[in-house]
Amino acid sequence: MSIDDLFSKEEEVLEDAEAIVTDATFANEPTRKSVLSLVAEYRKLLRTTRRMMRLSDRNERELNSLAEKHRLASDEVSRKNQELEALSAKLAKYLSPQVYKSIFSGKQEVKLTSRRKKLSVFFSDIAGFTEMTERMEAEDLTQLLNSYLSEMAQVALEHGATIDKFIGDAIMIFFGDPETRGVPEDALACVKMAIAMQDRLSELQSEWTRQGIREPLRCRIGINTGYCTVGNFGSEDRMDYTIIGGAANIASRLENQADAGEIYISYETWVHVQNGINCEKVGEIQVKGVAHPIVTYRVLGLTEQTGLSTKMLCKKQHFQLYLDPSSMTPKERDESRKMLEAAMAVITATRPRNSHDT
Amino acid sequence: MMNIEIPATNRTPSVIFDFAVGHLRITGESYPEDVTTFYNPLFEALKAWLEATEKPGCQFDFELIYFNSSSAKAIMIMMEMLDTAAAKGMNVVVNWFHDPDDETMEELGEEFGEDLNHAKFHLEKRPN
Is A160 exposed, middle or buried (CB count within 10 Å of its CB: 0-12, 13-18, 19+)?
A: middle
pLDDT in tens, A26-78: 999 999 999 999 999 999 999 989 888 888 988 888 898 999 999 999 999 99
Taking the C-alpha atoms of residue B50 and residue B85, their distance in angstroms, rounded to an integer, is: 7
Q: Rounded distance, CA A275 to CA A304, Å?
A: 10
3-state secondary structure of A301: strand
Residues of A with CB under 8 A from a CB of B: 1-3, 5-7, 9, 52-53, 56-57, 60-61, 64
Quote the pLDDT of residue A2. Answer: 53
pLDDT of residue B117: 94
CATH code for the domain of B75: 3.30.750
Q: How many domains does chain B have?
A: 1
CA Rg, chain B, in Å?
14
The whole-number pLDDT of residue B100 equals 94
Q: What is the mean pLDDT of residues A275-281?
A: 89
Each residue's pLDDT tens digit, A109-154 = 767 777 899 999 999 999 888 888 888 888 888 888 999 999 999 9
Average pLDDT, chain A: 87
Cα B72 to Cα A56, A289, B80, distances in angstroms = 11, 88, 12
Per-residue burial over B4-30, b if 16 or more Cβ lie within 10 Å, else e, is beeeeeeebbebebebeebbbbbbbbb
Rounded to an integer, what distance in angstroms lies between the CA atom of residue B44 and that of residue B49? 9
- Higher pLDDT: A59 or A315? It is A59
Q: Do B36 and A60 touch (CB under 8 A)?
A: no
pLDDT confidence band for A307 (50 / 70 / 90):
very low
Residue B40 and residue A53: Cβ atoms within 8 Å?
Answer: no
Q: Which domain holds residue B115?
A: 4-125
Cα gap A260→A124, rounded to integer Å: 10
Going by DSSP bridges, is the β-strand pair A219-234/A263-266 parallel, antiparallel, or unpaired? Answer: parallel
Query: pLDDT of A70-87, one tens digit each?
Result: 999 999 999 999 999 999
Q: What pLDDT, on a 0 to 100 scale, did the predictor assign at position B126?
A: 87
Q: Note whether B70 contacts A53, CB cutoff 8 Å.
A: yes
Q: How confident is the model at residue A358 (pLDDT cuts 50, 70, 90)?
A: very low
Q: Which residue type occupies A272? A: H
Binary contact (B70, A2; C-beta < 8 A): no
- Global confidence as pTM: 0.57
CA dihedral sign, ordered A177, A179, A184, A185:
negative
User: Hey, is A12 helix, strand or coil?
Assistant: helix
Where chain B has pLDDT below 50, the residues are none
